[in-house]
Amino acid sequence: MKVHPIAELFPPLTESELRDLADSIKTTGLQHPIVLDANGVLLDGRHRLAVCKALGVEPRFTTYEGDTPDTYALSVNIRQRNLTSGQAAMIAAKAHAHAATSGLQSPDDSAHSLSEKTGGADRMTLAQYVMQHEPDLVDPVIARTVSLDDAYKVARQSVGRAQAELEHLTRLRIEDPEFADRVISGELSPSQAWQEHAARAKEDKRQRMVATNLLCDVVPTLAQTRGSMAFARFDPQYQSPGRPVTRETIAHAMTALTEMAAIWEQRDLQ
């Protein structure tokens, strides 16, 4: 017998619940008939039907005569099942999404009306958020292997990571297009590219600090020797070991100062 797709959203009964149902049917018979729609599709009672078949009990059927079988399938199953508010909210959210994609009548009104079972609009909002951002956790929530609250936390973290990666890529496009291109090509993830960019920026800052301190130590001191005749008093026997002043080092120093002057002019530094 075909089962209504919304009724199939509900998790199967546990072994303990099935035993209790079987004991009840053995003792008092089938108390609630199996509910079908006008086309014979099962809306409620698939476990009762299975137990009746297993026990050899003749099941009783009734036909739903309303105009909203989808809403009925959701409403009656949520009310009868021993579900947590998280399970109920997720099933209701999934039923609404299923209806939207399958052309069925939306059971949304029923879902929101079952505030006691679904935990109200707030729980429905969490369930819909998980469905949108962490769909792999929808069925675990329904199966009660993951709580709705935990699934929501994971979804929030996923959204946070996605937003951070988008921000990283946006900044990389401006600050380091090379890394942005490596992200776009799939060579690096946005977070990996940002880490490498940050490491490169840190090393660049270190080198700039070292170079600045070196020039601040050397150039002003050299400038102070101008017109002092310190050059004439130079005595090789007093020079520091490993730091000889020779014609070659003087030539290199003059070249370095020429290059420095050109850079200062290029950067318009005073």
CA distance linking residue 161 with residue 31, whole number of Å: 52
For 127-177, how does the pLDDT look when each residue is reduced to its tens digit (9 = 90+)? 999 999 999 999 999 999 999 999 999 999 999 999 999 999 999 999 999
For 169-181, how does the pLDDT look when each residue is reduced to its tens digit (9 = 90+)? 999 999 999 999 9
CA distance from start to end of the chain: 89
CA distance linking residue 99 with residue 107, whole number of Å: 7
- Ranges of each domain in the chain: 7-159, 176-225+244-266
